[in-house]
């Protein structure tokens, strides 16, 4: 009798699973994603220095290649038209590289522990970082294109071709951001994530971004022709400037979708593995 009396209050104090869910129901639909997208956008607005660097560095490179190296590469003065598509992707790369640091910081500063105590999908934090990177990099890209027009960039694209170019740029930003997010999950510290991401920023230099592929050594031509950046650049160049496209668009879309698929699967696995330990 005494045992039953002693255990009854303890049982009464322990809520049943259904009761716990009623007290703190799990968010439905895309509510969690909206929360983390808003969180990431607020962080981006507050981090003015990172946004400025994502704009200033590619702009400085464009001005350097146009006014310092441009006359040596193309004495006719048309080198700015050639180099801007590559600078656009370089701008996206600089901006997306910060995603690796932000994701790694979230994984190492305890915010994931807090998130896992809440009734929402912890993986939604990655969606927030990716969408924020897309918005921020599209803004930075627009600024870089505006500066390029001030120094002589003269695209011949129709409104439909502009939409196609923006679509390719947005798809590339999504691909590179998902990849940087996965790198941020894989890295042990934000500093390591920054170092790993910096390596990827060299890929545009091994493509047709700054010089035609056929001017490179033969062994380097194969690398430049068969890496993801070159078809994306050639597609943007064709849409904005009317150069021959060939099958570049198919390769550009295929490469971007492949990178997104691999990075999303890798990132989801890393997130479950690392967050599950906490």
Residue identified by tokens 């400037």 is 241
Rounded to two decimals, the pTM is 0.80
The pLDDT of residue 10 is: 45
Residue identified by tokens 């999950």 is 185
Label residue 110 left, alpha or beta by phi (over 0 means left) and psi (-120 to 50 means alpha). Answer: left
The pLDDT of residue 23 is: 46
The pLDDT of residue 4 is: 45
Cα distances (angstroms) measured from residue 45 to each of 50, 52, 133: 9, 11, 12
Among 64, 129, 71, which residue's Cα sits nearest to residue 90?
Answer: 64
Q: Please list the pLDDT of the chain residue by residue as tens digits (278 residues).
A: 444 444 444 444 444 444 444 444 555 546 656 666 666 667 666 667 777 777 787 788 778 878 887 777 877 778 888 988 988 888 888 878 878 887 887 777 766 666 666 655 656 677 777 888 888 888 888 888 888 898 888 899 999 999 999 999 999 999 998 898 888 888 888 788 877 777 787 888 889 888 889 889 988 899 998 899 999 999 999 999 989 988 999 999 999 999 999 988 888 888 777 665 44
| Contact between residue 263 and residue 179 where contact means Cβ atoms under 8 Å apart | yes
The pLDDT of residue 261 is: 93
CA pseudo-torsion sign 191, 194, 195, 196: positive
The pLDDT of residue 274 is: 67
The pLDDT of residue 256 is: 94
Angle, CA of 188, 39 and 116, to the nearest 5°: 55
């Amino acid at each position: 009798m005494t045992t039953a009396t002693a255990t009854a209050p303890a049982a009464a104090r322990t809520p049943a699973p259904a009761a716990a869910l009623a007290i703190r129901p799990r968010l439905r639909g895309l509510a969690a994603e909206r929360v983390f997208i808003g969180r990431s956008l607020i962080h981006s607005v507050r981090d003015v220095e990172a946004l400025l660097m994502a704009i200033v560095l590619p702009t400085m490179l464009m001005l350097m290649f146009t006014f310092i190296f441009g006359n040596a590469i193309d004495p006719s003065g048309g080198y700015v038209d050639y180099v801007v598509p590559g600078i656009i992707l370089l701008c996206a790369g600089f901006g997306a590289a910060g995603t690796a640091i932000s994701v790694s910081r979230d994984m190492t500063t305890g915010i994931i522990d807090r998130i896992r105590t809440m009734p929402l999908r912890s993986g939604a934090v990655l969606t927030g970082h990716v969408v924020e990177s897309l918005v921020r990099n599209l803004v930075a890209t627009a600024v870089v294109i505006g500066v390029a027009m001030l120094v002589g960039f003269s695209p011949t694209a129709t409104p439909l071709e502009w939409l196609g170019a923006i679509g390719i740029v947005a798809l590339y930003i999504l691909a590179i951001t998902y990849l940087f997010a996965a790198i941020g999950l894989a890295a042990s510290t934000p500093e390591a994530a920054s170092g790993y991401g910096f390596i990827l920023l060299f890929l545009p230099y091994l493509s047709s971004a700054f010089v035609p592929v056929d001017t490179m050594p033969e062994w380097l031509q194969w690398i430049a022709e068969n890496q993801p950046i070159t078809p994306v650049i050639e597609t943007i160049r064709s849409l904005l400037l009317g150069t021959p496209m060939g099958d570049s668009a198919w390769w550009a879309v295929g490469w971007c979708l492949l990178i997104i698929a691999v990075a999303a699967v890798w990132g989801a696995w890393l997130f479950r593995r690392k967050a599950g330990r906490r």
